[in-house]
């Protein structure tokens, strides 16, 4: 057990960055599965792909580009904050979107099962899938903060990795 602890402590930045990478990939999958791909919604998809690429770069490049990667993660975190305002506007642009009772209703509507819509072409007799959709309802107002949180965690992991690399150099 002490060997595992020592290994994790030695590579803490890389371990956390691995989790950040997985987090961005899962977030991307969720965005695509819920059809979050129209107009301004594409900002979240693109930001998530960029976040995954930054995490991968941090894992591959080591300490050489750490400061630039940390700054890019910090800039990327802003997209989640923008998303919170977009979700609030879609929810009616009212402060009530953040009131607990309203939040509970929004969450109950948002947690409805994902459905697949099919269309039937009468001329050809073929059935085609038109994509994954959620039931109608207000978007979850704080969901974009997952992008902000992952970005900030990525920046922290970059700094933690840099510190452990600096310690190894002095030892």
Q: What is the pLDDT of residue 40?
A: 84
**Tens of pLDDT along the chain (171 residues)?**
889 888 888 888 889 999 999 999 999 999 999 888 888 889 999 999 999 999 999 999 867 788 899 999 999 999 998 888 887 777 665 545 455 444 445 445 544 444 445 555 566 656 555 444 333 456 676 788 888 999 998 998 888 775 455 555 554
Q: How many whole angstroms separate alpha carbon 35 and alpha carbon 14?
A: 32
Kind and range of the H or E run holding 13 = helix 12-33
Give the tokens for residue 115.
Answer: 């459905």
Q: What is the pLDDT of residue 23?
A: 95
Q: What is the pLDDT of residue 25?
A: 96
142-170 CB burial, b ≥16 within 10 A, e <16: bbbbbbbebbbbbbbbbbbbbebeeeeee
Q: What is the pTM of this model?
A: 0.68
The rounded radius of gyration (Å) of the Cα atoms in the chain is: 20
Q: Which residues contact 126 (CB under 8 A, 6 or more apart)?
A: 120
Q: What is the pLDDT of residue 67?
A: 86
Specify whether the CB–CB gap between 137 and 109 falls below 8 A.
Answer: yes
Q: How many whole angstroms separate alpha carbon 162 and alpha carbon 139?
A: 38
Q: How many whole angstroms separate alpha carbon 47 and alpha carbon 24?
A: 9
């Amino acid at each position: 057990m002490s060997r595992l602890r020592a290994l994790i402590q030695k590579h803490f930045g890389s371990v956390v960055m691995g989790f950040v990478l997985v987090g961005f990939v899962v977030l991307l999958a969720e965005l695509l599965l819920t059809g979050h791909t129209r107009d301004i919604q594409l900002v979240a998809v693109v930001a998530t792909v960029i976040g995954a690429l930054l995490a991968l770069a941090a894992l591959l490049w080591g300490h050489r580009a750490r400061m630039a990667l940390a700054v890019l993660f910090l800039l990327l975190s802003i997209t989640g904050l923008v998303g919170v305002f977009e979700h609030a506007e879609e929810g009616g642009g009212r402060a009530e979107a953040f009131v607990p009772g309203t939040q509970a209703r929004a969450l109950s509507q948002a947690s409805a099962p994902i459905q697949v819509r099919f269309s039937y072409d009468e001329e050809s007799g073929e059935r085609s899938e038109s994509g994954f959709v959620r039931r109608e309802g207000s978007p979850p107002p704080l969901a974009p903060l997952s992008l902000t949180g992952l970005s900030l965690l990525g920046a922290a992991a970059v700094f933690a990795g840099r510190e452990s690399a600096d310690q190894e150099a002095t030892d």
